[in-house]
Amino acid sequence: MAGEFDLIARYFNWPAQGEGVSLSVGDDAALLSVKAQHQLAISVDTLVSGVHFPVNTHPADIGHKALSVNVSDMAAMGAEPRWFTLALTLPEYNTAWLEGFSAGLKQAADDYGVDLIGGDTTRGSQTITVQIMGEVTPAAALKRSAAKLGDVIFVTGTLGDAAAGLALAQGDSSIYASGEKRAYHDYCIQRLNRPTARTVESRIIRQYAHACIDVSDGLLQDLMHVLKASQCGAVINTDDIPFSEALSSLHPPEQCLQYALTGGDDYELLFTVPDDQCDGFIKAMSEQQLSCQAIGYITDDAEQIINQYSHLLTATGFQHF
Interface of this chain with a copy of itself, residues 120 to 179, rule: CB under 8 A: 120-125, 127, 129, 131-134, 136, 138, 141-145
Residue 266 annotated as part of some ligand binding site: no
Per-residue burial over 78-104, b if 16 or more Cβ lie within 10 Å, else e, is bbbbbbbbbbbbbeeeeeebbebbbeb
DSSP per residue over 56-109, as a string?
T--HHHHHHHHHHHHHHHHHHHTPEEEEEEEEEEESS--HHHHHHHHHHHHHHH
Interacting residues with a copy of itself between 59 and 118 (CB under 8 A)? 73-74, 76-77, 79, 83, 85-87, 89, 93, 117-118
119 binds a copy of itself (CB under 8 A): yes
Nearest to 47 by CA among 66, 72, 23, 71: 66
For residues 61 and 104, is the Cβ–Cβ distance under 8 A?
A: yes
- Beta carbons of 40 and 55 less than 8 angstroms apart: no
Nearer CB in complex with a copy of itself: 117/246: 117
Q: Which residue number, 230 or 244, has a Cβ lying nearer to a copy of itself?
A: 230
Tell me if 119 is assigned to a ligand binding site.
yes
- Work out whether the CA dihedral 258, 263, 266, 270 comes out positive or negative: positive
Closest separation between CB of residue 187 and a copy of itself, Å?
27
Sequence-distant (≥ 6) Cβ neighbours of residue 299 within 8 angstroms: 149, 232, 233, 234, 235
Pairing of strands 305-307, 233-236: parallel
CA 270 to chain centroid: 11
Give SS3 for 225: helix
The distance of closest approach from Cβ of residue 32 to a copy of itself in the complex, given in angstroms and rounded to an integer, is 4
Report whether 276 belongs to an annotated binding site.
Answer: no
Least distance (Å) from a copy of itself to the CB of residue 255? Answer: 25
Least distance to a copy of itself, CB of residue 48, Å: 4
Q: Looking only at residues 191 through 250 of this chain, which bind a copy of itself when binding is defined by CB under 8 A?
A: 212-214, 229
CB nearer a copy of itself, residue 152 or residue 213: 213
Least separation in angstroms between CB 146 and a copy of itself: 10
Site for a copy of itself in 246-305 (CB under 8 A): none
Closer to a copy of itself at the Cβ: 40 or 284?
40
Which is nearer to a copy of itself, 288 or 316 (by Cβ)?
316
Q: Which residues are annotated as a binding site?
A: 28, 43, 45, 52, 73, 119-120, 144, 214, 216-217, 265, 318
